[in-house]
Structure formats: structure tokens, C-alpha cells
Amino acid sequence: MQWRTGIVIVSAAALILAACGEDKPSETVTQGQELFSVTFDQPGSWEEGKYPIDAATPDSVLAITGGRYQIDLRAGQSASFTWGAAGDSYEDVVIEVDTEQLSSEKNNLYGVACRLVADAQGATTGYMLLISGDGNYGIAEMTNNALSFLVKWHQSGTIRQGRASNTIRAVCVDDYLAIYANDKFLGEVKNTDFQRAGQVGLVAGVTKGKDVSVAFDDLAVYEATISPK
């Protein structure tokens, strides 16, 4: 588990293909066999912990509870995010997970990470495909303890706001990234920064001084390819 204490929203070099929920995806992705799945019914099936480890009152708690994986986070003087990862490393995948926002603050983010890789110093890089409690979605890459958005936040009526449930589908195939919510395409981007295998993660973050609590369930990872045109 790598703790991050800042969210930086900046433009990044990328070919943005679509950023409107009414558009159709530019690529046809073929979903293959299931590679990994978890229902969070058993302790130890995903990363758990309290962070910082030595703090009397931890800022974040990641735990399997009530048959779901839950991330609880309180941000300090700046917006922050945290995540838990598990499983083997995969490169070209489709990830599906059910989510429920349990907290009331809408200015947050939560979702799925793919291709997470930590270096020898513990710094982690990868992609994050996200929605928010106020009905936005975005796609970001993580470097230098921060998120740089490849698809900036866009509003979508497909995303249920506030204390609500949403199913997220994240596509990470070749240089192509796409996000869906509740079976509807939201946005996509092409980026070549992290074209290698990495772990899958679950993510939550919130604006400064606020709390976020999100539960995840029934996560599945499938092999995937882009169909020739």
C-alpha cells in the first residue's frame, strides 16, 4: 500500500478520442475469459490496513467488512486519495466492479486502477478510471504521488450521485483506456506511458478536510483485445 496525500489535476499529453457520454467508443473491445474475481467474502482476499501505520488516528482504513471491500479516508489540508491492490499483474484487461458511496460528500472520486507497478522506492505508477459523487467521470495517470488527468472531469447523467450504487467497467487494452458506468460508455483516451502489466486496484479520494467512504463488491477481471477494424 502506497499512501498519497495530493491530487493534482493537470493536462497531460494524450490523444483524447471521446469525452462525452453520448459518444460511442471508437474501438471494439472483445472480452475474453475471466482471469480473476473476488466477492470479498473472505479476509485477506484484498489489501487491508490502516494508514499511516503508526498514527493514533489513521487517515485511511482499507478493510473487508460485511462481504464487501471498503475504503474510508479523511483528507487533511489538501485533497487526497488512497487505494488497495491485489492479485497478479495483467496488461490487457476489462475490469468490472460494483460500487456504493456510503458517505455524503459529493466532491470525491472513486473507481478502478490498472497496471499499477511500484518501483524499488515504493513509488507507484498506473492508470485510474474514476467517477465522482457529483456525477462526473475522468481518466488519470498516477505519477509522482499525484493524478494527472488524461480525460478531465465531465458530467454524465448516467452516474448516480451521492449515496448511491454504480457499476464501473474499466478497459485497459494496448494504449486504449475507456470507462463505462451502469453499462453506458462514458469516455476514452489513448496513452502509451504505461504499456506493461501491473496490478488491479480500487481507489477512493476526497477534497480537503472531508471524508469519503466507498464499498466495492463482485470485482472481475477479464482478458481483452481490440478487434481489428
Environment class of 107 (CB within 10 Å of its CB; exposed 0-12, middle 13-18, buried 19+) = middle
Q: Residue 123: what pLDDT?
A: 84
Contact call for residues 204 and 110 (beta carbons, < 8 A): yes
Contact call for residues 190 and 14 (beta carbons, < 8 A): yes
pLDDT tens-digit profile, the chain (229 residues)? 334 334 433 333 444 454 444 589 999 999 999 999 999 999 889 999 888 776 666 689 999 999 999 999 999 888 889 999 999 999 999 999 999 999 999 999 999 999 999 888 778 999 999 999 999 999 999 987 789 999 999 999 999 999 999 999 999 999 999 999 999 999 999 999 999 999 999 999 999 899 999 999 999 999 999 998 7
Strands 198-206 vs 136-143: parallel, antiparallel or unpaired: unpaired
Contact call for residues 25 and 18 (beta carbons, < 8 A): yes
Residue ranges of domains in the chain, CATH in brackets: 15-226 (2.60.120.560)
DSSP reduced 3-state for 43: coil
> How close are the terminal C-alpha atoms of the chain, in Å?
40
Beta-carbon contacts of residue 128 (< 8 Å; ≥ 6 apart): 83, 111, 112, 113, 139, 140, 141, 142, 147, 201, 203
Strand stretches in the chain, DSSP E: 15-18, 29-38, 49-51, 60-65, 68-74, 80-90, 93-101, 108-118, 124-131, 136-143, 146-155, 165-173, 176-181, 184-190, 198-206, 211-226
CA distance 53 to 72: 15
Contact call for residues 60 and 214 (beta carbons, < 8 A): no
Tell me the whole-structure pTM to 2 decimals.
0.91
Looking up cell 493514533 gives 56
